[in-house]
Amino acid sequence: MRPARAGRLSGPELILHGVSAAPGTTVGRAVVLDGTGANPSVTVPPAQRGEEGARARRGLEAAAAELEEIAKELRRDGRDDEADIVETGVLMAMDPGLISRVDTLIAELGWQAPEALREAADQAAAELALLQDPMLALRADDVRSVGRRAAACATGALKRATEGVLIAATLGPADVAELAQKATGIALAGGGVTAHAAIVARSLGLPMVVGLGAGALEIEDGEEVVVDGDRGILVRRPDAQRVSVARGKAENRRVARETAVARRLVPAQTRDGHRIRVLANASTVAELHEADQQGAEGVGLLRSELLFLEAPTWPSFKEQVDVLRPVLSRLAGRVATVRLFDFGGDKTPPFLRGARARGIDLLLESPAQLKTQLAAIVEAGGGTELRILVPMVTSSGQLRTVREMLGPVLGGQRAVLGAMIETPEAALRATEIASHADFLSIGTNDLTQLVLGFDREQSRTAPVTDIRVLRLMDATMRAAHVARIPVDVCGEAASDPKAMPILVGLGVDELSVAAARVGQVREWVRKIDFSAVEKESERLLHQAGHAGRQSI
């Protein structure tokens, strides 16, 4: 453990780039956990290795007992799904294979118990990470977490104060659940957005950035850092302005969540009575739980590809049902919008590397796999108000093909089919596409990126109020209303305080936002006057002249 160093380090800001795993921004003192693995320095004499092995086993037993207690606390709080995840750590701690590895390192190599526990866990995790089953591969971080916990138990180390930003190589779900009461954010050198720690962090509303690289482990205990879970960055030596902004955002987030939970049953409608349905972008049970707490009326975007980004082959029917059912089973009678695999671009799994197509174009190149996914969605979504969303649509012909494939797998169930409008081409063809769709969904991130020529990261904060983008969204909404079908926005703009009122003024029917932002968006809707934002949207559309609008 590094010695604590309080205060801000001198020098300019240093920004470490990673990947957003849970939204939000926070500032705090770094709490650097021991996540660097084993570092044997002392060899245990042969005569003492038996006792050292017993010490290691006591460490594993103590770790298992701690995990059982954490799971009990989660169940008392009604968080059964997270408890189930944590309880798998108990089985890992008692795994004969792990125990055998530990015994070998101690008996044959003379390693001390803490080092042997961490090394054995690292070896087991490395093997899991190589498995073809993506669900099992995700357990690698959980195994490392068990090894770290058992090592701490074996040394009799006291639990550390955890108020601040947790910094580690990786974390398991029990680590997050246990430490989250005081933690303000999480930053990991490794990890992934679909790992269990990230799932738990999202459910708890903790900003989290993963994939920061080894530079994150150079941070000192007590160093002040900013974690920006919206942009996927960690900032060392943050300047005073950045710190002030981060603190303001953290406090606003806390107050907004308390308000959202208290007002979750109050309808999301404007002061003059215009109703807007606020849905959640959610892919896990944890996110859905948070969305429910804040009053979401269903799911407007379930990204089906997220848990399969490391898959070596197309996922089977059973694998897809196993992933979807835990979420969709909790949406009985409510809107459940499942997007087909949006593979391609920056979301290309190993088996599709080299593919040039994206979204529906890529899926149509593998019709058998598309049929499998449609069948899995219908199977898992029984009892919900199921909606299937087709990504990167550019023509009505694509929708017709998907609808033809969908018919035979419905088995008497009802499902509606929608198109994502996320390219200028799709927006220009919105009237044609709307005539064959049951609803439209505007993906503002990609649309803004393509219209303004930004990369994907820039598009997250790009000005969707740019007149070129607004006109394409307006054309899409008008096409949907002429076709008498609903239109929603599921991109970052839906939860942007400047863009959201404009979207309402343009006529959006639904806003689908990150689970942690549902309550805030509902509150924003209640504070605006529809007639006023409608007039303002019209003013913005015409500010460059009527002739420009006709060029859409």
Q: Which residues are catalytic?
A: 196, 490
**Which DSSP string corresponds to 230-299?**
TTTEEEES--HHHHHHHHHHHHHHHHHHHHHHHTTTS--B-TT--B-EEEEE--SHHHHHHHHHTT--EE
Under 8 Å CB-to-CB from 213, ≥6 apart: which residues? 16, 18, 189
Instruction: Report the alpha-carbon distance of residue 337 to residue 354 in Å, rounded.
Output: 29
Phi/psi for 64 (5° steps) reads: -60, -40
- What is each CA distance from 290 to 253, 419, 480, 518, 523, in whole angstroms? 14, 27, 30, 9, 16
CB 339 within 8 A of CB 381: no
Q: What is the rounded distance in angstroms from the CA atom of residue 428 to the CA atom of residue 167? A: 46
Of 285, 262, 84, 48, the closest CA to residue 173 belongs to 84
What tokens were used for 61? 């037993």
Check: CB of residue 234 under 8 Å from CB of residue 209.
yes
Q: Among candidates 311, 313, 308, 312, which has minimal Cα distance to 324?
A: 308
CA angle (365, 371, 376) in 5-degree steps: 135
Write down the residue that tokens 């197309």 correspond to. Answer: 314
